[in-house]
Amino acid sequence: MNAGLPILRLGDILLGGLLSDLDDKTALAFTDELTARIANEGIRGVIVDISRLEIIDSFVARVLMQLAGTGRLLGTRMIVAGMRPAVALTLTELGLQLTGVRTALNAEQAMELLGWRRPVEAAEEAPHAS
């Protein structure tokens, strides 16, 4: 039995990752949860980390493109982060564009793209009222 893929929340950004052994059920659960949370939690950005994926076949490509499309309709920017060089080269040879999907080198750059800045003033900030 598959525990669902974990999805973390950082402010109004959701961060989730795809694992290598992605089956239909897991992909569906992941997509459903992301979509629900985008709608319910006022999410403006979603980062899908694909650094664990050793291949992207048409199934995974479709999942990613559909997620991006759904997100866009809900007013959210989706970024796919961490594509491996071998995967990028394979998709290029396939002639696949992954249209509608924005990519970033890693989750950190994805966060920057979404306008997340590191809290450099953290040290100087007054502690929050309890």
Partner 1 sequence: MLPDERTTPSGEHPVRVEEDLLSARHAVRAAAVAAGFSIVDQTKIVTAASELVRNAYIHGGGGTMTVESVRDSGGRRGIRLQVRDEGPGIADVEQAMTDGFSTGAGLGHGLGGTRRLVDDFDLDTEPGRGTTVTVVRWKP
Partner 2 sequence: MLGTDDSQVRTVLARVLEEDRSALARDWAGPEAGDGSHELRREAAELLAALRNAVTGTLPVSRIVDQDPAVRDALTSLSERRARAGAQPSATAMAILALKRTMLGAIERHTDDSALRYRAALLANELLDSAGVLTFEVYSAGRERIIREQHNQMLELSTPVVRLWRHVLAVPLIGTLDSARTQVVMNSLLESIQANEARVAIIDITGVPTVDTAVAHHLLQTVSAVRLMGAECVISGIRPSIAQTITQLGIDLSHIVTRGSLADALATAMQLLGDSARPVTG
User: Which residues of the chain form contacts with partner 2 (CB under 8 A)?
Assistant: 81, 83, 85, 87-89, 91-93, 97-98, 103-106, 109-110, 112-115
Query: Which of 27, 56, 67, 110 lies at the binding interface for partner 1 (CB under 8 A)?
Result: 56
Residue 96 to residue 61: CA distance in whole angstroms: 9
At residue 102, φ and ψ (nearest 5 deg) are -85, 140
Residue 3 to residue 1: CA distance in whole angstroms: 7
Residue 70 C-beta: closest distance to partner 2, Å = 20
Q: Up-side HSE of residue 28: CA atoms within 13 Å toward CB?
A: 4
The enclosing H or E element of 81 equals strand 77-81
Query: Which of 41, 62, 73, 105 lies at the binding interface for partner 1 (CB under 8 A)?
Result: 62
Nearer to partner 1, 9 or 62 (CB): 62
> Position 5: which residue type?
L
Contact positions vs partner 1 (CB under 8 A): 21, 23-25, 54-59, 61-62, 65-66, 84-87, 89-90, 93-97, 99
